[in-house]
Chains A and B, each alone.
Chain A
């Protein structure tokens, strides 16, 4: 994730959302006495949706928010375009405070700078594919010629050319969500909000749409907030991942950080089943050459296979199976470390290299 422009596009500062009539009092009580969610429900008849969530998304970045259902992630994403008003906290988009906007500016922001895709697709059944796609342009009063042109481009971008005049219920689920995607990118917004866009689809179509989305995203460089309950999807798509639990953002980090340095038991349980092969880099499992040299005789290094520091474990395995030697890690011609077979295997397991060995071979 080396983006030239590191400017923050979205920043959420301490967002609280408490649903219910006495949300203000409930928030005060939490801040003062540190009540739990359950106490809040019993005392104030309020439901805590999001607790003190802060994060920022940089330009062009794909930021995944991962959590189980009911963890508040759909509530959180709706604060970004202010479909939900926060109980406390603020959302800043490109330096503008969304919560301070008047209704007209907010509508302009939603129509021109934010595109959204919904889990339920939420297409308008009485409108054709084309009319659905250009809805945000239509509400801004853009003329029909321009709308038709934009519709053609967006529909082409999601491989739906030829279906413009069909109605949503004539399309399969996967195609409907492509219409949803086309609608979100039609106005060429800066920001894409994806609320579990592929969760309702069957696995094959989901994978296909993920590929379509990643291809589009690479072309269009949209700043994206992507909600999912599927860690594999988050790791596949996200530049950074936030793990959400009971309305709290438990950990924010790159996929590699999340998998290798889980912040707590909840996250580590989550990532336990995740394959490290395509996530963890050589840099994380290598040791300095000197340390290796202290414990092992270094013979002729010319036979040793060579890899780069950002190579994934998967590539290292390919190298390791062809030789008895450890792998040299080089960066611009300089040797920066060594990956032993033991370190590689431990890396795949997701455990430390120094973890105790169960049975020594004699």
Chain B
């Protein structure tokens, strides 16, 4: 062992042993002996995942497919809706139980992403506002993104046991950083003179945040959300090692049996799900001006039925819409 060698100034590292791994083990042991503290958190996560999964599975697949296509149409337009319909159909026809597995995976992803937003958005805003917080959180985010998943897989399992909750926690660790980073970037990217104007007109800090900074940072934040969703999906296979069900588990089992065909089924399913989620969230990220500055309820399926529901309101709004383009001469 290195400790028995005499100290060598040119190679100090091999002669000094700080026993870091043993100490870490000690911390782990202490944490495990106090694991019941985590029990409430665990049950909250568990009930969240279970209810999302049950909701997703309660809807018949065809209805669910239509629902997702309608959401895609609303959020991102007709073309994306068609792509989403095709992807979901391919996913469904991959194997008889592919749809069910996909919904389980989706439930895990949705639970992880919701938690990421709840944690990541405030952290990102804080990081965007405070340089000190940004510099202190950056190494943490770096660690979360680069440390191999297997390193925290084992401690998480020891603390929380195997199953979906651990899977969601592991996914959050991996998928959270881009949301924090891009929220911070978005807040920092807001034009300072606009913020100053808001201050000059008497806006409070929270009004500046909600009425100016967040709306202007929205495209960047949504890009972060998109990345968070994609990373969550990419964790699905690794999370299946700690007995998370769904498409990832299919891939893992198929690999164990060297069953390439089955692995392709699971893998393609994940890809299809990824395309669907990516296109929908990117569509939300597009600003309304790319679609002719309409409000979201003026187009898509809601735009088709909205006039029948809110006829009265639309009429009164129509009266106030002015006739334009004759006034350009003002500037001449």
Which residue numbers of A lie inside 8 Å of B, CB to CB?
81, 83, 103, 107-112, 114-116, 118, 120, 122-126, 135-136, 138-140, 159-167, 172, 174-175, 183, 187, 193, 205
Contact = CB atoms under 8 A, between A and B. Distances in A.
Interface string B195-234: 0111111111001000110011000000000000000000
A109 B199 CA distance: 11
B40 interface: no
Interface string B304-332: 00000000000000000111101100110
Contacts of B322: 161-165
B199 A83 contact: yes
A122 B196 contact: yes
Nearest to A109: B202
B203 A122 contact: no
A161 B323 CA distance: 10
A81 B326 CA distance: 38
A162 B191 CA distance: 27
A193 B200 CA distance: 10
Contacts of A187: 201
B203 to A, nearest CB: 5
A105 to B, nearest CB: 10
Contacts of A166: 324
B202 A108 contact: yes
Contact of A161 (B196, B212, B327): B327
B23 interface: no
Given A111-B201, A183-B201, 16 more contacts: A83-B199, A112-B202, A118-B197, A122-B194, A125-B216, A126-B215, A126-B216, A135-B198, A135-B201, A135-B203, A135-B211, A138-B211, A162-B326, A163-B327, A167-B293, A174-B331
Given A122-B194, A123-B194, A124-B194, A111 B327 contact: no
Contact of A110 (B199, B215, B216, B289): B199
A167 B326 CA distance: 17
A116 B324 contact: no
Contacts of A124: 194, 197-198, 212, 216
Nearest to B204: A107
Q: List 10 A-B pairs, minimum CB-CB distance, nearest first.
A: A111-B202, A122-B197, A110-B202, A136-B201, A122-B193, A116-B200, A107-B202, A139-B203, A120-B193, A162-B322
Given A125-B216, A162-B323, A166-B324, A110 B201 contact: yes
A103 B203 CA distance: 11
A114 B202 CA distance: 9
Contacts of B293: 167
B328 to A, nearest CB: 9
Contacts of B323: 162
5 contacts: A108-B202, A122-B196, A122-B197, A124-B198, A174-B331
Nearest to B203: A139
A163 B201 contact: no
Main secondary structure on B side of the interface with A = helix
A188 B211 CA distance: 22
Nearest to B191: A122
B202 A163 contact: no
Contacts of B207: 139
Contact of B327 (A81, A110, A162): A162
Contacts of B200: 81, 83, 110, 114, 116, 118, 193
Contact of B193 (A118, A161, A165): A118
A187 B289 CA distance: 29
Most interface-central of A124, A140, A161 (chain B CB within 10 A): A124
A172 B204 contact: no
Nearest to A120: B193
Contacts of A115: 201
Contacts of A114: 200
Given A122-B193, A139-B203, A172-B331, A165 B321 contact: yes
A139 B206 CA distance: 10
A159 B330 contact: yes
B193 A163 contact: no
A342 B327 CA distance: 51
B224 to A, nearest CB: 18
A208 to B, nearest CB: 8
Contacts of B203: 107, 111, 135, 139
A333 B204 CA distance: 61
A142 B23 CA distance: 61
Interface in B133-191: 191
A355 B207 CA distance: 63
Nearest to B326: A162
B331 A205 contact: yes
A136 B323 CA distance: 27
B291 to A, nearest CB: 13
Contact of B202 (A139, A164, A167, A172): A139
B124 to A, nearest CB: 19
From A162, A166, A187, A193, name the one whose CB has the most chain B CB atoms within 10 angstroms. A162
Nearest to A208: B331
Contacts of B331: 172, 174-175, 205
A164 B317 CA distance: 13
Nearest to A187: B201
Nearest to A169: B289
A105 B73 CA distance: 47
A135 to B, nearest CB: 5
A136 B289 CA distance: 25
B295 to A, nearest CB: 11
Contacts of A103: 204
Which of B202, B212, B293 has the most chain A CB atoms inside 10 A of its CB? B202
Contacts of A83: 196, 199-200
A136 B191 CA distance: 19
Contacts of A111: 201-203
B212 A140 contact: no
Contacts of B201: 110-111, 115-116, 135-136, 139, 183, 187
Contact of B324 (A162, A172, A205): A162
A247 B202 CA distance: 27
Contacts of A174: 331
A161 B293 CA distance: 19
Contacts of B196: 83, 118, 122
Interface centre among B200, B204, B331 (most CB of A within 10 A): B200
